[in-house]
Structure 1
Amino acid sequence: MAAGTNIRQILGLEDLAKMKVLSAALLAEFLGTAILVLIGCGSCITGWDLDYSPTIVQIALAFGVTVGTVVQFIGHVSGGHINPAVTLGFLVTKKISLFRAMLYVIVQCLGAIVGAGLLKGLTPSNLQGNLGATVVNQHLSPVQGFVVELCITFVLVFTVFACCDENRGDIKGSAPLAIGLSVATCHMFAIKYTGASMNTARSFGPAVVANVWSNHWVYWIGPILGGVIAALLYQFIFSAPTPPSEESEYAEKVELREKQETPSV
């Protein structure tokens, strides 16, 4: 019975019995990813006038603050993944079912397409460019771009797992803010290298709408592999130990007191 229950949990068959909850989570992931692409990629649009050109810091903050904001308002509904790398990291550590993970990735990609489509509709045709699509710098090889994406996504997913570790008692600040800051920090480093995707869906949406597919595999394999490595490393090596229960602490104190009170022979 236990084995059968475990298989049902892994495959996500139990999610089918909670379709209302699952539907809300899918809608949250769809909406959150669409907002991320609309605002984040919108900050990359250039050419409005001669005095305006977005800086690396501006773009980094747009993505980072947007991620933090979205995680804040949908985290209680879906976990606030808005990123296939995060979702697959949760999948390999058995924190989410296979069924739910597949649906999350699908709606994240669809949300990214809608966000990029909305951005295109709101932007004058002569300013659209590639709608913020990510491309590997011409001075880098695709393999170098792959490693950059792996590294920055590793940082993001490692931060997510550290912030979501229920056994940690030292975290006093805001988890969404910490996650958003990790995104902003990695953008400041990697925009000039790969456009700093660290999110397959974020790259996929603009690629579909703007038809930009140069070295697109970098933005699938790099982030997903980086996210999976970070998730496994944190889960099995860096996760905080389970704190002792109040009962066990009390039992240990009683045992210690009895030893102290027992006269030596």
Structure 2
Amino acid sequence: MVKIAWGSVREATQLDCIKALVVEFIATFLFVFAGVGTAMAADKLDADSLVAIFAVAIAHALAVAVMISAGHISGGHLNPAVTLGLLAGGHITVFRSALYWIDQLLASSAACYILHYITGGLTTPIHSLGSGVDYLQGVIWEIILTFSLLFTVYATIVDPKKGALDGLGPTLTGFVVGANILAGGVFSGASMNPARSFGPALVSWDWTDHWVYWVGPLTGGALAGFIYENFFIIRSHVPIPTEEDNF
């Protein structure tokens, strides 16, 4: 069973942590900027719904693939659910996870505020449940979609025995994000990312169904991280050596 390290406030003053937070902010900002910007462009062009969701899926897939690679210093999480999934697997401390969450939410908010300004005040589209989709269905959608995202992250990036997949992790993770948006976009919005949902909701000040995009992704991410790390990865050491108390 993986032991999860608490970490300490000293991490916030360490150079590697500061660099990681800066890179995580930049990578998350650029990811959200591309993703939300594409959704805004589709609305402005009044694109056909199928064309619009395809464009949004492609934009998110490409942005995720590139930003995970570009954000290698921080791990390129871009997503509180990914951070929680890696925390559940013992790959990041609780304290640093909290710093990442704050960083990701600030980056998403900044990207959406800037988009709102440079598009002349266009609405930033929020994630909300599709017609006929109730809360429970929406949560289940988000759990499954985010589980598949984190399962892919673990299988192609985290797992030390990824074999022929070595180096393809960011691209394959982008593929699964795009596929999930095509599958679930019209039903739950296919957020898979509380930060991606938070920025548009904050700028538009529209919190409709917003809790779904915390409960679903965080549950799916934590489950995937815990299951993959404990049942599919064999290690001879604890992932994060620490002098802090563990649980």
Fold-level match, TM-score > 0.5? yes
Report how far residue 84 of structure 1 moved.
0.4
RMSD: 2.2
Q: Which runs of 4+ in 1 moved over 4 A?
A: 49-54
Q: Could you list the runs of 5+ residues in structure 2 that have no partner in the other structure?
A: 237-247
Q: Does structure 2 retain, via aligned residues, the 8 Å contact 1:15–1:100?
A: no
TM-score (norm 1): 0.81
Q: Could you list the runs of 5+ residues in structure 1 that have no partner in the other structure?
A: 1-6, 244-265
- The CA distance in 2 between the partners of 1:93 and 1:47, in whole Å, is 39
- The CA distance in 1 between the partners of 2:170 and 2:47, in whole Å, is 33
The structure, 1 or 2, with the larger RCO (C-alpha pairs under 8 Å, 6+ apart) is 2
**More helix as a share of residues:** 1
1:55 aligns with 2:52: yes
Report how far residue 214 of structure 1 moved.
0.8
Largest Rg, 1 or 2: 1
Match of 2:103 among 97, 103, 107: 107
When residues 196 and 17 of structure 1 are mapped into structure 2, their CA distance, relative to the original with a 3 A threshold, is closer
Output the amino acid matched with 2:24.
Answer: E
1:121 aligns with: 117
Report how far residue 95 of structure 1 moved.
0.9
1:61-210 equivalent positions in 2, closer than 5 A = 61-75=58-72, 77-125=73-121, 128-129=122-123, 131-163=124-156, 164-172=158-166, 174-210=168-204
Match of 2:31 among 16, 28, 36: 36
- The CA distance in 1 between the partners of 2:212 and 2:58, in whole Å, is 23
Report how far residue 81 of structure 1 moved.
0.5
- The CA distance in 2 between the partners of 1:141 and 1:49, in whole Å, is 29
2:17 aligns with: 22
- The CA distance in 1 between the partners of 2:68 and 2:130, in whole Å, is 30
When residues 133 and 50 of structure 1 are mapped into structure 2, their CA distance, relative to the original with a 3 A threshold, is closer
**CA-to-aligned-CA distance 1:93-117 (integer Å, 9 cap, x gap):** 2111111000000110110100111
When residues 242 and 203 of structure 1 are mapped into structure 2, their CA distance, relative to the original with a 3 A threshold, is same
1:260 aligns with: none
**Between Structure 1 and Structure 2, how many residues are aligned?**
231
Report how far residue 208 of structure 1 moved.
0.4
State the identity %: 34
